[in-house]
């Protein structure tokens, strides 16, 4: 990831938490920003190092697998997308 949506393309984003004590699927999201908001919440609660236990990936409606992000790369993506969530959604809708 990052992956730019083409017009009408649907991507489902999946978030996993591989922490030894938690180890669970956090959910599927239609919007990357929604998944990244949960990442931000989890990191706020458990600390920045918890990002190493999180993994966000996706799959398009056509079956193309979006490479997953974790750790520092995931935090950087969250910062970039959530800094301007409205612009990111407008760009995705316009694509």
Say if 2 falls within a structural domain. no
Q: Quick: pLDDT tens for 6-61.
A: 555 799 999 999 987 777 999 999 999 999 999 999 999 999 999 999 999 999 99
Say if 36 falls within a structural domain. yes
| CA–CA distance, 20 with 33 (Å, rounded to integer) | 26
Q: Which domain holds residue 87?
A: 11-94
Q: In what order do the strands lie in the sheet with 11-17?
A: 24-29, 11-17, 54-60, 65-70
| Nearest Cα residue to 24 out of 54, 48, 1, 44 | 54
Domain count, the chain: 1
Say if 3 falls within a structural domain. no
Say if 5 falls within a structural domain. no
Q: What is the pTM of this model?
A: 0.78
Say if 6 falls within a structural domain. no
Domain harbouring 17, CATH code: 3.30.2260.10
Say if 39 falls within a structural domain. yes
Q: What spatial distance separates the first Cα and last Cα of the chain, rounded to whole Å?
A: 16
Q: Which two tokens stand for residue 28?
A: 């599927």
Beta strands in 23-64 (DSSP E): 24-29, 54-60
Report residue 26: phi and psi, to 5°: -90, -20
Say if 61 falls within a structural domain. yes
């Amino acid at each position: 990831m990052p992956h730019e949506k083409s017009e009408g393309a649907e991507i489902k984003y999946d978030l996993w938490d591989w922490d030894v004590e938690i180890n669970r699927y956090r959910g599927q999201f239609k919007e990357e920003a929604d998944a990244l908001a949960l990442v931000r919440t989890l990191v706020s609660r458990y600390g920045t190092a918890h990002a190493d236990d999180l993994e966000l990936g996706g799959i398009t409606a056509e079956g193309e697998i979006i490479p997953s992000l974790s750790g520092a790369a995931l935090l950087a993506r969250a910062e970039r997308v959530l800094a301007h969530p409205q612009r990111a959604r407008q760009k995705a809708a316009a694509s």
